[in-house]
Amino acid sequence: MNRWLSIILVLLAISGAAMAKPDLSQPLGPTLADRGSPHYRFSRHELASADGQRHYRIWIATPVQAAPRAGYPVLYLLDGNAALGALQEAQLADLARRGPPVLVFIGYATDLRFDVTARAYDYTPPLPGGEPVIDDIARQRLGGGADVFLDLIEQRIKPLVQAQAPIDLMRQSLWGHSYGGLLTLHALFTRPASFQRYIAADPSLWWQGGFILQEARAFLTRPQAFDLTLLTGGAVRERPPAGKNEDPQVRARREAVAALPANAAERLAEQLATAGHGPVRYKRYADLGHGPMLPASLGPALRLSAGDDEVITRWISK
């Protein structure tokens, strides 16, 4: 009995750790794009970056339901492989009842859920002065390509989507989680007219010592209408005490996160709301860690893009 109890406890511990941290090496596996849906048609497209170093896989999900007169609303989803893997048929059925948006999953040409090297470059902002950006977590990964990537969305991906379906250009949303949430905020703070709604899930505010918070302060000095939803996880995974054998990447992220106040995201939402230039919604999922926030935030993002503002129960401002 004791032996089996020990085995069960070990399995539970492994399961808990997996739930707390996203497995960046996990294969994508079959998705709704492969299985099909009665509510959406999926098409797949391949693109390469201008320098040929990064390769993208774009899935466009177009509603079967006819477009409204102004065109479909559209939701662009970063980390498209993982987002598509988390998408559920029940969510598409719900969207069909609400007035479905076109869904654009911006992923990478890999069988994995994430391309960690490519996203580290694409999703992190450049630093002032054009100095090289080295990823905080893995020193061999370059960063700072966010503006190049946002240009790719604007100049190549959006025209591709608009060629597939009629789009309401006044109802475009952008969603991202983690580094994708960081990019979502950077897009809002530097080119707010690119999308009408920004949805950032557990964004990596700690990146480069809170650099994105500096961008937020500069943004607040310029009157500009915006619509932001900020979703964060509240669960803290217990870690063993740091020691000489601690994984360097684990140590780097732990130290970077610890350098910011625990309520940094909520404070950011309150500061943005105080500006009074648009709605700011904030919700903290107290029982969820960083990894589970990806699928948890996907449902609200889908409904927000369809016009369901009340899916987020707490509004900082209206």
Domain 41-235+244-317: give its CATH architecture.
3-Layer(aba) Sandwich (3.40)
Residues annotated catalytic, as ranges:
178, 290
Sequential pLDDT tens for the chain (318 residues): 444 433 333 333 333 333 344 456 688 889 999 999 999 999 999 999 999 999 999 999 999 999 999 999 999 999 999 999 999 999 999 999 999 999 999 999 999 999 999 999 999 999 988 777 888 777 788 999 999 999 999 999 999 999 999 999 999 999 999 999 999 999 999 999 999 999 999 999 999 999 999 999 999 998 889 999 999 998 655 444 555 555 555 565 656 666 687 889 999 999 999 988 889 999 999 999 999 999 999 999 999 999 998 888 766 654
Per the listing, tokens 């960081």 go with 182
Ranges of each domain in the chain? 41-235+244-317
CA 78 to CA 10: how far, in whole Å?
34
Given a contact cutoff of 8 angstroms between Cβ atoms, the answer to whether 294 and 177 are in contact is yes
Given a contact cutoff of 8 angstroms between Cβ atoms, the answer to whether 187 and 174 are in contact is yes
Q: What are phi and psi of 87, to 5 degrees?
A: -65, 135
Nearest to 167 by CA among 79, 62, 261, 242: 62
Which amino acid, 4?
A: W
Given a contact cutoff of 8 angstroms between Cβ atoms, the answer to whether 167 and 161 are in contact is yes
Structure tokens at 200: 């950032």
- Write out the H or E segment, with its range, that includes residue 57: strand 55-63
CA 230 to CA 286: how far, in whole Å?
14
Dihedral angle sign, alpha carbons of residues 53, 57, 60, 61? negative
Q: What is this structure's pTM?
A: 0.87
Rg over CA atoms, the chain: 20
CA 145 to CA 119: how far, in whole Å?
9
Given a contact cutoff of 8 angstroms between Cβ atoms, the answer to whether 34 and 57 are in contact is no
CA 91 to CA 302: how far, in whole Å?
8
Q: pLDDT at position 266, please?
A: 94
Query: What are the helix (H) ranges across the chain?
Result: 2-20, 32-35, 80-86, 89-98, 116-122, 146-152, 158-164, 179-190, 211-220, 248-258, 264-275, 293-305
